[in-house]
Amino acid sequence: MNYRHPQLEAEALNCGDSGWNSTFWAERLPVMLIAFRRKRARGWNMQFRTKRINLVAGVVGALTAATLGLSATPASAGESGRPEAAPKRAAAEVHCTSFTWVPSDGGLYLHRPSTTANSGNYNCVVARGDHNYAVLALQESLNACYTQGLKEDSDFGPATEQAVKNAQTEINGIYGPVLSVDGRFGPKTSSYFSFELYRQDGSHTTGCR
């Protein structure tokens, strides 16, 4: 290690010495060594304090996590080394709440279950537990077009669910196994379904389409 110091060198030269003589070293070296040891000791002290602070912080963090019921281990990582994202939840199922008047031949209309009244959006489901105008329109078509003999009460219960299964089975008999026989009136069942026809005043006819 180089202990040369510009100020000390200047002082030595001012004493008339041509260089670093033994007398100069005898007077200065002990002081320099003591200063160096103190400086190094302070450095070790700082390192020790830093390590001790880090250790205390780690212990406090672990105790806090345990108290709050949190996991002290990091989130699991995938093959990329990044934490794996939580699985995405499936989108909430949309249920039909009413029906849309769909024009047909001869100035007649059919009532097709939709998200809301006359929305024209048929990407919805009518299923067990529903109680609304969509269920009523479905029950009327099940009775008129599939002779199910349901009570038209707007309540989708076990009888209506079985009637939908019967209609799905009948449709599969015509078009092949295109539908799941699950008793749920969804968009696919709706696309193959036959609906009762109504007059402009809303009165029933005997026809289906």
Domains and CATH numbers, the chain: 6-68 (no CATH), 98-208 (1.10.101.10)
For residues 161-165, give the mean pLDDT: 98
Helix axes 6-14, 22-68, angle to 10 degrees: 160
Residue 110: burial class (beta carbons within 10 Å; 0-12, 13-18, 19+): buried
- Rounded to whole angstroms, the Cα distance separating 172 from 192 reads 9
| Tokens encoding 68 | 């709050």
- Rounded to whole angstroms, the Cα distance separating 175 from 94 reads 27
* Contact residues for 65 (Cβ-Cβ < 8 A; gap 6+): 71, 72
* Contact residues for 83 (Cβ-Cβ < 8 A; gap 6+): 74, 75, 76, 77
* Single-letter code of the amino acid located at 108: L
- Rounded to whole angstroms, the Cα distance separating 154 from 138 reads 9
pLDDT digits (tens, 9 = 90+) for 141-162: 999 999 999 999 999 999 999 9
pLDDT digits (tens, 9 = 90+) for 39-88: 555 554 555 555 555 655 565 565 555 555 544 444 455 555 566 665 66
Cα of 188 vs its chain's centroid, Å: 27
* Single-letter code of the amino acid located at 67: T
Helix (H/G/I), strand (E/B), else coil: 182: coil
Report the phi/psi class of residue 42: left, alpha or beta, with left for phi > 0 and alpha for psi in -120 to 50.
alpha
pLDDT digits (tens, 9 = 90+) for 170-201: 999 999 999 999 999 999 999 999 999 999 99
pLDDT confidence of residue 91: 74
For residues 113-141, give the mean pLDDT: 98
Residue 155: burial class (beta carbons within 10 Å; 0-12, 13-18, 19+): middle
- Rounded to whole angstroms, the Cα distance separating 134 from 185 reads 10
Report the percent of the chain where pLDDT is more than 70.
57
